[in-house]
Structure 1
Amino acid sequence: MTDPLTQVIALLRPSAVFSKGISGAGPWAVRYSVFGQPSFCVVLQGSCLLAVDGEAAITLEAGDFVLLPATPGFTMSGFAPAKAVSMDPRTNPAATGELRHGNRGGPPDVRLLGGYFVFDSPDAELLVSLLPALVHVRGVERLSVLVRLLSEESKERRSGRELVLTRLVEVLLIEALRAAPGDSAPPGLLRGLADARLARALRHVHGDPARPWTVADLARKSALSRSAFFERFTRALGLSPMEYLVAWRMAIAKGLLRRQEFGLAEVAERVGYGSASAFSTAFSRYVGQSPGQYARHPPAGPG
């Protein structure tokens, strides 16, 4: 059956990586304003504090990996009190070499490799809403290796660079999300997939979105009563089963319309509508413009 996590990552279309080394020593603190794009870092040595807006502050240690799918404002600091230096990730120049915070001389207290990329999908807001705001994974060496490979590739200008970066980011995202503890995640896809019974329903929806699914059908796939399934799904995903199904169908439809390889009737059939007119009505209501208008003038990705 189709893996929902892989499908979501593919539809997000991650690309365009920037990365750099970061270190801090003595009293230091930096305050980054809201960025909106996905960012990541891996701690190479030492430790520091990370306080992401809306989340509990955490201590980062060597080997830790952090992913922020829609980077909000955050503060990173050492453990000694220090006034935070404001930084805007959109306007600060991309300095070469390692970015140093705090004391300039001597060995650093912490060294990190951090960076960001972009999601080229205009559906990024919907898809990112299915992911945790903060992913913190400890001691997964594969993630550290992937970040190093990303960093090396992003600094080189070798042939095939863009394709390699895109594939590395896709693998990084999948590795990070499947290593994250889904049962304690906020409502969204990870939490749904962490529930073995809901995961069955999700895989069926993603594997055959055109099927005329009902709540009762999906409840049977999950071996739950209709009411128990509806409540459990809505609590875990933050959307009702039918809301999730429609959102997923429309995300697929948008991708098909952007490619302009299929007629309206075929797009309608692929996402579970019996006719082009029924699909057009549903799409227009959901998106705010007709499929034809969307295909001619698809919105640009957020990057």
Structure 2
Amino acid sequence: MDLLGDAIAAMRVGRPGSTRTDLRAPWGLHFDKVPGAGFHVVLQGSCWLLAPGADPLALGTGDVVLLRGGRGHGLADDPATPLEPFPSARPADLTATGSGARTVLLCGAYHLDLVRPHPLLRELPDVIHLPARLGRHPALRSAVELLSHELDAEETGTGAGVPPLVDLLLLYILRAWFDDQAVGGRALALHDPSIRAALEALHRDPGRPWTVAELGDRGGLSRAAFARRFTDAIGRPPMEYLTWWRMTTAARHLVETDDALSSVAARAGYSSEFAFARAFKREFGKAPGRYRRLT
């Protein structure tokens, strides 16, 4: 059970888009705000990240940066270089020829539903910078190396290998960031065995009639102690989170499958379609059938 993977899946509304950029200084690119999260991987060379309200940030080969909320920003060979708009059509490859140093980047965006962010992802900083450091985050480093290889290769099927690697990159970025955090805030949910055990149980079987006492037993805590710790870490009480998760997964099933409403309701823990529809409408503002037709 991968809680971060579940959190990402709950917010995903489409496949990531990415562009390989091969640049020669001087160059500068401005990226508009996107409905999700923007990311950049420095495959070769170096550059500067220019984010509003922040000092220019130097990026080197192997560095990865994620911009929560897809905020507008710039990348350039030098902070003083004027920025040109990044093509809105997002070509698969973008080349800019100059006479200076070469920089190769993978730039893109993850399309995420920011209206209903998963509690684990609410406290992410505006900019996550994961510099390339020997021995740190080997899975992330391996993903970056594989992406670089796939983008440079001219072998059969290379194009098909990039999207799943870009998808996996987001999971590794978030894992690396959470691993670097002190145990506090939302990071507590992943580092605390009691809370993690409860979350894994809820995610594995959301339709089960869970009680707070039963979830506390999973982590070896009393009902009251567990409820306090869970609420502090997640930002909502256990049963409120369970309802949120049930409705979130039900919404995904409505969109991604043709299952009957009775089946979706049962999977979410409701024996009555009427009770499920009422709970769903409270959460999403529309009935399940209407939600399925309009999404």
TM-score by length of 2: 0.77
Q: 2 CA distance for matches of 1:65 and 1:290? A: 41
Instruction: Identify the residue that residue 138 of structure 1 maps to in structure 2.
Output: 131
Instruction: Identify the residue that residue 60 of structure 1 maps to in structure 2.
Output: 59
Paired residue secondary structure (2:254): helix
Give the C-alpha shift of residue 273 in structure 1: 1.8
Deviations 1:68-121 (A, max 9, x none): 354112233456x51652635636x74954346xxx32324xx241222443x7
TM-score by length of 1: 0.75
Would you say 1:37 and 2:36 are equivalent positions?
Answer: yes
Instruction: Identify the residue that residue 233 of structure 2 maps to in structure 1.
Output: 236
Paired residue secondary structure (1:38): strand
Give the C-alpha shift of residue 276 in structure 1: 1.2
Instruction: Identify the residue that residue 214 of structure 2 maps to in structure 1.
Output: 217
Contact 1:29 1:82 in 2 (8 A): no
Give the C-alpha shift of residue 175 in structure 1: 2.4
Contact 2:35 2:114 in 1 (8 A): no
Q: 1:106 aligns with which of 95, 100, 108?
A: 100
Give the C-alpha shift of residue 30 in structure 1: 4.5
Q: 1 CA distance for matches of 2:150 and 2:272? A: 45
Structure 2 unpaired stretches of 5+ = 133-137
Instruction: Identify the residue that residue 20 of structure 1 maps to in structure 2.
Output: 20
Mean Cα deviation higher: 134-143 or 177-186: 177-186
Alignment of 1:186-205 (within 5 A): 188=186, 192-205=189-202
Residues 16/195 of structure 1: CA separation in 2 closer, same or farther (3 Å cut): same
Residues 224/168 of structure 1: CA separation in 2 closer, same or farther (3 Å cut): same
Residues 245/294 of structure 1: CA separation in 2 closer, same or farther (3 Å cut): same
The amino acid that maps onto 1:76 is: L
Q: 1 CA distance for matches of 2:80 and 2:199? A: 47
Paired residue secondary structure (2:116): helix
Q: 2 CA distance for matches of 1:238 and 1:23? A: 44
How many residue pairs align between the two structures? 283
Contact 1:17 1:117 in 2 (8 A): yes
The amino acid that maps onto 1:61 is: G
Would you say 1:298 and 2:275 are equivalent positions?
Answer: no
Instruction: Identify the residue that residue 116 of structure 2 maps to in structure 1.
Output: 126
Paired residue secondary structure (1:44): strand
Structure 1 unpaired stretches of 5+ = none
Instruction: Identify the residue that residue 247 of structure 2 maps to in structure 1.
Output: 250
Q: 2 CA distance for matches of 1:194 and 1:161? A: 37
Q: 2 CA distance for matches of 1:105 and 1:64? A: 24
- Among all aligned residue pairs of Structure 1 and Structure 2, give the percentage whose two residues are the same amino acid: 33
Deviations 1:113-142 (A, max 9, x none): 1222443x7x56424664335433233421
Instruction: Identify the residue that residue 208 of structure 1 maps to in structure 2.
Output: 205
Residues 78/253 of structure 1: CA separation in 2 closer, same or farther (3 Å cut): same
The amino acid that maps onto 2:201 is: H
Residues 106/88 of structure 1: CA separation in 2 closer, same or farther (3 Å cut): closer
Contact 1:38 1:67 in 2 (8 A): yes
